[in-house]
Amino acid sequence: MENLIIKNFKCFRDANIPLNQLTIFAGANGYGKSSAIQALLYLRRTIEHCAKWNDSIYTYVESNGLNVQLNDAYCLSLGDSSQVLSQDSTENFIILGLYDNKKKFHVKYEVEDSKLHLTPIEVINQRNKDSKIFIQEFYYLNAERIGPRIKQEIKFYDFPNTGFQGEQTAQLLGDTSFNYLFKVDEKRKFPQIESARLEQQVNAWLNDLMPEVKVTASYDTATLSAQIRVNNFFTKNNAVIAPNIGFGISYVLPIIVTGLIAKQGSYMIVENPEAHLHPSAQSKIGRFLAMVANAGVQVIVETHSDHVINGMQLAAIKNEINPEHIVINFFNQTESSQQPELESIAINTKGELSSWPKGFFDQTQLDFAELFKLRRG
DSSP string, 220-251: ETTTTEEEEEEE-TTTTT--EEGGGT-HHHHH
Domain end marker among 229, 261, 293: 261
Same domain, yes or no: 11 and 95: yes
77 and 3 share one domain:
yes
The CA distance from 109 to 62, in Å, is 12
What's the confidence (pLDDT) of residue 236? 80
CB 3 within 8 A of CB 100: yes
Q: Indicate the number of domains in the chain.
A: 2
pLDDT at site 100: 86
* Domain co-membership, 1 together with 133: yes
Other C-beta atoms closer than 10 Å to the C-beta of 138 total 24
CA distance 339 to 127: 28
Examine the domain organization and report whether 173 and 319 are in the same domain.
Answer: no
Please give the full DSSP string across 260-288, using - where no structure is assigned: HHPPTT-EEEEE-TTTT--HHHHHHHHHH
- Whether 189 and 250 share a structural domain: yes
Q: Are 173 and 257 in contact (CB under 8 A)?
A: yes
pLDDT at 89: 87
Quote the domain boundaries for residue 26: 1-137+266-377
What are the strands, taking DSSP E only, across the chain?
A: 2-9, 12-19, 22-27, 52-54, 57-59, 68-69, 93-99, 104-110, 117-125, 138-141, 152-153, 214-220, 225-231, 240-241, 267-271, 298-302, 326-332, 341-345
**Residue pLDDT, tens place only, 96-108:** 999 987 788 999 9
Position 289 scores a pLDDT of 98
247 and 165 co-located in one domain? yes
Is 271 found in the same domain as 131?
Answer: yes
Which residue from 6, 5, 9 is spatially nearest to 82, judged by alpha carbons?
9
Residue 261: how many CB atoms within 10 A of its CB?
24
Residues of the chain under the 50 pLDDT cut: none
Q: Give pLDDT, residue 323.
A: 97
Whether residues 201 and 102 fall in one domain? no
Q: Are residues 315 and 368 in the same domain?
A: yes
β-sheet bridge partners, residue 53:
58
Please tell me whether residues 253 and 281 are part of one structural domain: no
Q: What is the pTM of this model?
A: 0.95
User: Are residues 222 and 244 both part of a single domain?
Assistant: yes
331 and 354 fall within a common domain:
yes
